[in-house]
Amino acid sequence: MPVDTGVYRMTVTQSSADTLGRLRHAPARERSVLVADDSLTVLRLIDRTLREAGYRVLLAEDGRQAVTCALAEQPDLVVLDINMPELDGYGVCHELFSNSNWDSNTPVIFLTCSDAPHLTVLGEELGAFLSKPTEPELLLETVAMLIDRKVTAQ
């Protein structure tokens, strides 16, 4: 079913959950994903997509909230917008990866409207880079792949 807010368009389908089911093996525990974006519309859409696929979703509306939540909750994966108030996505990464309490193997997905070439390289180093808007299936496939990779590496 298409969701059109005039700002961000994402199509949510039943196949989103089906895709995840094929990619994830039965996890020993519910996997958690922190999503940080200053757009409430984007937060709601991603929250619904991930929850319907079985993830526990943590939400942050700015970079400072993202750092606080990430350090307290230690999510399995972080989805970050680059342009956020208080602290941008780069600042969030810097604070997390320089903190000794942060698991540096936690993957980060940069989800942003920007298409700067360095984001592809940074995404490959830390997890992935996805351009807004992105299809729910692609987001779910990327989340599942990165969490599986992290779990396998442990």
CATH code of the domain in which 134 resides = 3.40.50.2300
Q: 106 pLDDT exceeds 80?
A: yes
> Is residue 25 classed as helix, strand or coil in its secondary structure?
coil
Find the mean pLDDT for residues 119-125: 68
Region class of 33: left (phi > 0), else alpha (psi between -120 and 50), else beta = beta
Q: 117 pLDDT exceeds 90?
A: no
Please report whether residue 9 resides in a domain.
no
Predicted confidence (pLDDT) per residue in 2-40, tens digit: 443 333 334 344 444 454 454 444 344 689 999 999 999
Q: Which residue has tokens 């937060």?
A: 43
Total number of domains constituting the chain:
1
Range of the domain at 50: 31-153
Residue 119, H or E segment: helix 117-126
Going by pLDDT thresholds of 50, 70 and 90, the confidence category of residue 76 is very high
What is the per-residue pLDDT for 24?
45
Query: What pTM did the predictor assign?
Result: 0.80
Helix axes 136-153, 40-52, angle to 10 degrees: 60
Please report whether residue 58 resides in a domain.
yes
What is the per-residue pLDDT for 15?
47
Helix axes 63-73, 89-97, angle to 10 degrees: 30
What is the per-residue pLDDT for 49?
96
Find the mean pLDDT for residues 43-57: 96
Quote the distance between the C-alpha of residue 36 and its chain's center.
Answer: 8
Find the mean pLDDT for residues 67-89: 96
* Rounded Cα distance, 34 and 59, in Å: 6
Region class of 103: left (phi > 0), else alpha (psi between -120 and 50), else beta = beta
